[in-house]
Chain A
Amino acid sequence: MTRYFTEDHEWIEVDGDSATVGITDYAQSQLGDIVFAEVPAAGATLKKGGDAAVVESVKAASDVYAPVSGTVIEGNAALGGDPALVNNDPEGEGWFFKITLSDTSELDSLMDAAAYKAFVDGL
């Protein structure tokens, strides 16, 4: 399994032709307490870079973009009852959705962990 990152602070962990997507620890720390997350429904088709989910803190709302194109397998239902998961475990239990990749070559443009760390350090 390989984990990639975007400049918009999403992470994607790829396992074959499916993957799990969430927002990074940096992103959650910038947002503050997450109070609401809206995740895509199974079966939704997403385009790389398009709106995929919404994450809200008390005073800010952000769109989560799809790091890759594909079809949603499952949205993380647990976030509905406990949006704080995104704060407490952003890159684990606080995942947003699972997706079937339609074009694995889209991963080529993403960053690996080291590149993302350098990117964040530069912000």
Chain B
Amino acid sequence: MRYLPLTPSDRQAMLGVIGAKSIDDLFADVPAEARLDGPIHGLPNHASEMAVERHFSNLARQNMTASHTPFFLGAGAYKHHVPASVDHIIQRGEFLTAYTPYQPEIAQGTLQMLFEFQTQVARLFGCDVANASMYDGSTACWEAIGMAGRITKRSKAVLSSGLHPHYVSVAKTMAQYTGDTLDTALPALSPVTDSARLLDAIDGETSCVVVQYPDILGRIEDLSAIAAKAHEHGALLIAVVTEPVALGAIKAPGEMGADIVVGEGQSLGVGLQFGGPYVGLFACKEKFVRQMPGRLCGETVDAEGKRGFVLTLSTREQHIRREKATSNICTNSGLCALAFSIHLTLLGEKGLRGLAELNHGLAVQAADRLSQIAGVELVNDTFFNEFTLKLPKEARPVVRALADRKVLGGVSLGRLYPDVDALANGLLVAVTEAATMEDVETFATALQEVLA
């Protein structure tokens, strides 16, 4: 077996040192009725590298891939070009096969990278500080709601109807067990968000308002008024960013008064991967840092006075505080954070702004082209690289019919909001730098055919 170095004679010699007759002696504490006497029945035995690879190749071929199809899906996961050097670097064994940097003297590579990552995220979001990452955007969003509860000692969260429905579902799952109440609503196919509802709902019981920016339908609205009203009532504003590339073009939530900004970092460096692993981004105002979940890397010096980095403020965490910890999170998303950080370093501010401009420009052109199709309306007045179309019929079968024509033409709102008639004709279309105007034309032609 190619991954197991012990030889039969090694095993014999080692059993001798241990003073055991056979390997079974070492499992003597397992009660007899639970001991298996051989390999589990009904499962295949070991396989060669070639056989395993062939199996996966066969399965991989059954999937329609984003790179080989005109592709317009978004809704919290975006197809962006990832520079080749990103994947090369994250495959270096020193990053790939290291662990959480518990021994800082021999983990400065990971620690310095995390310090850079935290700084990049904080600056991108317009916040003071950021942590070393969470599992993904949806769990980061929930953790932010929990954090706001700890800070304000209140339990009512007001969620914008523009928050990704799966993020809302995750929050609902958690809230039913923690006693938090969530004030939620469904979005409408309207150019404006429900910020009026949010402003009305904020009161002295509110722990936080949660607003996605740009929202699930792609709309962009100023958060300042919501922040002001929340602060007036002692509540926090949590902003959720599922497309960080947008922040190369639009104001950071922190600039508009958000107290906690969380997000999904998949767009930078990570790739689609059918939904995971992704990387949760988590930033906030400095005064709230002791209530943050997750790992934090901080700067310090070593015994010779050289700059170095360590994991810090660990007393917030489960391994020390146990049932009083700010979160149960342990492993985060280190390697994806590295990929994010490398990609953002390659882009730099200039590249990020250029990338954002390119995304927005292509999206504007695509929106104009697609809304020329008879019966198709553009819902948004504002958007970054994703917008909502209102089709003359239910969007879900349209998406399937487009797939039959080898076009992955967006996410139907029917998939995200099943059984909501008012949204059934909505189609969410994302256009990134990975799409060409030819792709847009292919999409438009196919859509026209399907709608005819």
Residues of A with C-beta under 8 A to B315: 35-36, 56-61
- How far does the alpha carbon of A56 sit from the alpha carbon of B314 in the complex, in Å? 10
Interface members, chain B 294-339 (any A CB < 8 Å): 314-315, 320-321, 324
Write the nearest CB–CB distance from A62 to chain B, whole angstroms: 10
Residues 62-103 of chain A: 1 if any B CB is under 8 Å from the residue's CB, otherwise 0?
Answer: 000000000000000000000000000000000000000000
Residues of A with C-beta under 8 A to B324: 61
Residues of B with C-beta under 8 A to A60: 315, 320
Which residue of chain B has its CB nearest to the CB of A36?
Answer: B315
- How far does the alpha carbon of A56 sit from the alpha carbon of B325 in the complex, in Å? 13
- How far does the alpha carbon of A58 sit from the alpha carbon of B314 in the complex, in Å? 7
Write the nearest CB–CB distance from A63 to chain B, whole angstroms: 9
Which residue of chain B has its CB nearest to the CB of A57?
Answer: B315
Which residue of chain A has its CB nearest to the CB of B322?
Answer: A61
Residues 333-354 of chain B: 1 if any A CB is under 8 Å from the residue's CB, otherwise 0?
Answer: 0000000000000000000000
- How far does the alpha carbon of A79 sit from the alpha carbon of B290 in the complex, in Å? 16
Interface centre among A56, A57, A59, A60 (most CB of B within 10 A): A56
- How far does the alpha carbon of A35 sit from the alpha carbon of B314 in the complex, in Å? 11
Write the nearest CB–CB distance from A94 to chain B, whole angstroms: 18
Residues 271-310 of chain B: 1 if any A CB is under 8 Å from the residue's CB, otherwise 0?
Answer: 0000000000000000000100000000000000000000
Which residue of chain B has its CB nearest to the CB of A63?
Answer: B324
- Summed over the interface, the residue pairs from A and B with CB atoms below 8 Å come to a total of 16
Interface members, chain B 33-75 (any A CB < 8 Å): none
- How far does the alpha carbon of A36 sit from the alpha carbon of B320 in the complex, in Å? 14
Write the nearest CB–CB distance from A108 to chain B, whole angstroms: 31
- How far does the alpha carbon of A47 sit from the alpha carbon of B245 in the complex, in Å? 52
Residues of B with C-beta under 8 A to A36: 290, 315
Interface centre among A58, A60, A61 (most CB of B within 10 A): A61
Write the nearest CB–CB distance from B102 to chain A, whole angstroms: 11
Which interface class (under 10, 10 to 19, 20 to 34, 35 or more) fits B?
Answer: under 10
Residues of B with C-beta under 8 A to A35: 315
- How far does the alpha carbon of A118 sit from the alpha carbon of B437 in the complex, in Å? 84
- How far does the alpha carbon of A61 sit from the alpha carbon of B324 in the complex, in Å? 10
Residues of B with C-beta under 8 A to A57: 315
Write the nearest CB–CB distance from A97 to chain B, whole angstroms: 19
- How far does the alpha carbon of A35 sit from the alpha carbon of B310 in the complex, in Å? 15
- How far does the alpha carbon of A61 sit from the alpha carbon of B315 in the complex, in Å? 6
Residues of B with C-beta under 8 A to A58: 314-315
- How far does the alpha carbon of A119 sit from the alpha carbon of B314 in the complex, in Å? 31
- How far does the alpha carbon of A59 sit from the alpha carbon of B313 in the complex, in Å? 9
Write the nearest CB–CB distance from A86 to chain B, whole angstroms: 14
Which residue of chain B has its CB nearest to the CB of A55?
Answer: B315
- How far does the alpha carbon of A96 sit from the alpha carbon of B320 in the complex, in Å? 22
Residues of B with C-beta under 8 A to A56: 315
Write the nearest CB–CB distance from A111 to chain B, whole angstroms: 28
Residues 30-43 of chain A: 1 if any B CB is under 8 Å from the residue's CB, otherwise 0?
Answer: 00000110000000
Residues of B with C-beta under 8 A to A59: 314-315, 320
Which residue of chain B has its CB nearest to the CB of A60?
Answer: B320
Write the nearest CB–CB distance from B288 to chain A, whole angstroms: 14
Write the nearest CB–CB distance from B302 to chain A, whole angstroms: 15
Residues of A with C-beta under 8 A to B320: 59-61
- How far does the alpha carbon of A56 sit from the alpha carbon of B290 in the complex, in Å? 12
Which residue of chain B has its CB nearest to the CB of A38?
Answer: B290
Which residue of chain B has its CB nearest to the CB of A35?
Answer: B315
Residues of A with C-beta under 8 A to B290: 36
- How far does the alpha carbon of A56 sit from the alpha carbon of B315 in the complex, in Å? 7
- How far does the alpha carbon of A57 sit from the alpha carbon of B290 in the complex, in Å? 14
Write the nearest CB–CB distance from A30 to chain B, whole angstroms: 15
- How far does the alpha carbon of A36 sit from the alpha carbon of B312 in the complex, in Å? 12
- How far does the alpha carbon of A58 sit from the alpha carbon of B315 in the complex, in Å? 7
Residues of A with C-beta under 8 A to B321: 61
Interface centre among B314, B315, B320, B321 (most CB of A within 10 A): B315
Which residue of chain A has its CB nearest to the CB of B325?
Answer: A61
- How far does the alpha carbon of A36 sit from the alpha carbon of B289 in the complex, in Å? 13
Write the nearest CB–CB distance from B261 to chain A, whole angstroms: 25
- How far does the alpha carbon of A35 sit from the alpha carbon of B324 in the complex, in Å? 18
Write the nearest CB–CB distance from B131 to chain A, whole angstroms: 17
Which residue of chain A has its CB nearest to the CB of B317?
Answer: A61
Residues of A with C-beta under 8 A to B314: 58-59
- How far does the alpha carbon of A98 sit from the alpha carbon of B321 in the complex, in Å? 26
Write the nearest CB–CB distance from B295 to chain A, whole angstroms: 14
- How far does the alpha carbon of A35 sit from the alpha carbon of B315 in the complex, in Å? 10
- How far does the alpha carbon of A8 sit from the alpha carbon of B320 in the complex, in Å? 19
Write the nearest CB–CB distance from B328 to chain A, whole angstroms: 16
Can you report 16 A-B residue pairs in the complex whose CB atoms are below 8 A from each other? A35-B315, A36-B290, A36-B315, A56-B315, A57-B315, A58-B314, A58-B315, A59-B314, A59-B315, A59-B320, A60-B315, A60-B320, A61-B315, A61-B320, A61-B321, A61-B324
| Chain B interface (Cβ < 8 Å from any Cβ of A) | 290, 314-315, 320-321, 324
Add 13 more A-B contacts to A59-B320, A60-B320 (CB < 8 A): A35-B315, A36-B290, A36-B315, A56-B315, A58-B314, A58-B315, A59-B314, A59-B315, A60-B315, A61-B315, A61-B320, A61-B321, A61-B324
User: What are the 8 tightest A-B residue pairs by CB atom distance, in nearest-first order?
Assistant: A61-B315, A56-B315, A61-B321, A61-B320, A59-B320, A60-B320, A59-B314, A36-B315
